[in-house]
Structure 1
Amino acid sequence: MKTIKGPGIFLSQFIAGDAPFNTLDGLAEWAAGLGYKALQIPCNHPAIFDLEKAVVSQTYCDEIRGRLAEKGLEVSELSTHLEGQLVAVHPAYDDAFDHFAPAALRGNPQARQQWAVETVKKAAQASARLGLSAHATFSGALAWPYFYPWPPHNAALLQDAFAEQARRWRPILDVFDEHGVNLCYEIHPGEDLHDGLTFERFLEGVGNHPRCHMLYDPSHLHLQNIDYLAWIDIYHSRIKAFHVKDAEFERNGRSGVYGGYQNWLTRAGRFRSLGDGQIDFKGIFSKLTQHDYDGWAVLEWECCLKSAEVGAREGSEFIRRHIIPVSTRAFDDFAAGSEAKK
């Protein structure tokens, strides 16, 4: 068995225009002061991390690593969640996701998609320069408008959507393979890869690609009423990244899983700061440890009640408490015989 690494923190929800949240050095000092050991860094903030420089300059990547190391930090993964979303956008969502792209590409779905593909490929090379083994992203969605079977599911339409997903992502996965980095899709409602069956369908479409893996986030499974502990038993060989995020679902007589178009505060299912929701993290850390997950445990803070800075402070200690330092010997070794029976 192996000990899970952590705690790490995903920076996306903390980057802001004021210090210390507007520079990598400021964020690093803040995170290190809270006890974090790694940063998961998004690729859509050049002032924080310049992906274009990282692709062409080993020196730049070494400098990033050195500056973080001075504060006792590493990079856990890079993230292209927003760029991955743009690899596959159903026309129904063109307007909703258009602002994820650079201003010059907005209103041009074809150019936007080409930019997204190249950006995710660049993240593979940058990840390798940083010495990383995993990368976090979204799959995007071509079939999501049809997730509920009304009108009745059109098998050919869904087959075409997943075939197109595989066609778009297979060359990207090949680039990640060239650079020795696992591409980890966050399993997430709104993405075509939103549960185990859709992940399996995509995995089959890309020929069981050796770099096709998942980012495990139990909150998204809990809010879909999926057994997130059994998930680890089923998919542990494909779990290469881990967001530690809490959630709760409170049944009521007016709305359910779909939320009734409400904001997060009043939804039946909502995300919470670590320890404030319903997720069984003792079970999760035990399962992941049992199955030799040796990646990072990374806080993704999303809470509709608690402040971000309090959530980050509490989250560091929460993750630290749940990491299980693995045993180097069996508890009953003292009773074992000195020689095997002949």
Structure 2
Amino acid sequence: MKLGMLTACLPQLTLEEIAAWAAGAGYEALEVACWPDTGGRDFEAAHLPVANFGPADVERTHKCFADHDLTLSALAYYENNLHPDPVRRAEIRTHLTRTIDAAAALGVPYVGTFVGRDWTKPVRENLAEAEPIFRELVDYAGERGVKIIIENCVMEGWHPDGYPGNLAYSPELWEWMFSLGLYLNWDPSHLVWIGIDPVTTIAPYAERIVHAQAKDIQLDPAAVNRYGFFGKAVDRPNPWDVGWWRYRVPGRGQVDWDAVVDALYEHGFTGTLSVEHEDPVWGGDVTRVEQGLSIAHRTLRPLIVA
């Protein structure tokens, strides 16, 4: 097992800058964010130019990782592959296939994304629509030696009423997507707030958990008594502000990391545990984000065999 980090939390920095910092901070791997370059917008990280990824980009990327003795664990493009707007859905698919092509060129085994959801349709119709889409994507990736990994994030902010916007949030849905040839980028934080014990989900699905993300979560029991499980309904200007929980860096929330890492080892996980930093306390600027990543490293590093 390696301890890594997802680069998406540092969209202001180049991949070379992140690699230098991560290596100095003791990280061993990077999960590299590959959203499209939108010309300076700092919300989505574009750390590899996958849309036009040529031999020079391959050579430069390999040199960057070799210089800093890091592993490139996965490429990340987490978007809604079932977006209800057909034009937007086609854009997402095109960029995802380019990300797969870049992973193949680099020899990276995994590309991470979301199943997503057309929020105008019920779950049953979404699953039926998704099956041919993802079978084709799995075949496309497999022909290039790449596996598609799906993060089990609920993506409640994608749904107009805060319901699940990514149909990969529960073991029931994992079994459906595994039948299509997909794998899991397992994240315990999302399981906690929907009432699932993360540790119990490792053993049954160990063969499909090939990459994992380390994100913590902090619950507010008093707030859930006011808003209920689905969160704020009347005053919710930010669709991601559920009101009764927030993400934290590992060590600042309620995930039992001793139990998580122990279970991953027990059931044969040899991939990368990649810190995904979305902690509002340790956010806002590069310095605070790096401090949060350092907290995560101090929490997790003692648990991982050198």
TM-score normalised to structure 1 length: 0.75
Q: Which amino acid aligns with 1:213?
A: Y
1:241-280 correspondence runs (5 A): 241-252=211-222, 253-261=225-233, 267-280=243-256
Structure 1 residue 267: Cα displacement? 2.4
In structure 2, the partner of 1:203 is 178
Contact 1:257 1:269 in 2 (8 A): no
Please give the alpha-carbon distance, in whole angstroms, between the structure 1 residues aligned to 2:203 and 2:106: 31
Say whether the 8 Å CA contact 1:35–1:317 is kept in structure 2: no
Is 1:88 the equivalent of 2:82?
Answer: yes
Give the alignment partner of residue 7 of structure 2, picking from 8, 11, 18. Answer: 11
**1:279 CA displacement:** 0.2
- CA distance, structure 2, for counterparts of residue 245 and residue 166 of structure 1: 29
Shift of 1:159: 3.0
- Scaled by the length of structure 2, the TM-score of the pair is 0.84
| CA spacing shift, 1:269–1:121, aligned 2, 3 Å | same
Q: What does 1:136-215 align with in structure 2 at a 5 Å threshold?
A: 136-142=112-118, 157-189=122-154, 190-204=165-179, 206=180, 209=181, 212-215=182-185
Residue 309 (structure 1) aligned with residue 284 (structure 2): no
User: Aligned partner of 1:279: which letter?
Assistant: V
Length, aligned pairs only? 277
CA contact (8 A) 2:28 2:69 kept: yes
Identity %: 26
Asked if 1:43 is matched to 2:34, the reply is yes
Residue number in structure 2 paired with 1:296: 272
Please say which of residues 227-236 and 68-77 is displaced more in the overlay: 68-77
Amino acid of the structure 2 residue aligned with 1:50 = P
Corresponding residue number in structure 2 for 1:93: none
C-alpha contact (below 8 Å) 2:32/2:48 kept by paired residues: yes
Bigger Rg, structure 1 or 2: 1
Deviates more, 1:176-185 or 1:262-271: 262-271
Instruction: State the match for 1:120 in structure 2.
Output: 96
What are the Cα deviations for residues 288-319 of structure 1, in whole angstroms up to 9, with x where unaligned?
A: 11111111111101112233221111112322
- Aligned-partner Cα distance in 1 for 2:104–2:269: 20
SS of equivalent residue, structure 1 residue 66? helix
**Could you list the per-position Cα deviations for residues 213-235 of structure 1 after superposition, in whole angstroms to 9, with x for gaps in the alignment?**
01100000001110111100111
CA distance in 1, matches of 2:242, 2:209: 32
Tell me, in whole angstroms, the C-alpha distance in 2 between the residues paired with 1:31 and 1:167.
39
- How far has the Cα of 1:265 moved from its partner? 7.8
Q: Which amino acid aligns with 1:53?
A: N
How far is the alpha carbon of 1:176 from its aligned partner?
A: 1.0
1:118 deviates by: 2.1
User: Cα deviation per residue 1:89-131 (whole Å; 9 max; x = unaligned)?
Assistant: 24xxxxxxxxxxxxxxxxxx32322222122122222112211
CA RMSD of aligned residues (A): 2.0
TM-superposed CA distance for 1:145, in Å, is 6.2
For 2:280 and 2:242, the matched residues in 1 are separated by 9
**Structure 1 alignment gaps of length 5 or more:** 91-108, 147-156, 326-342
1:131 maps onto 2:107 in alignment: yes
Letter in 1 for 2:226: R
Distance 1:266 1:59 in 2: 44
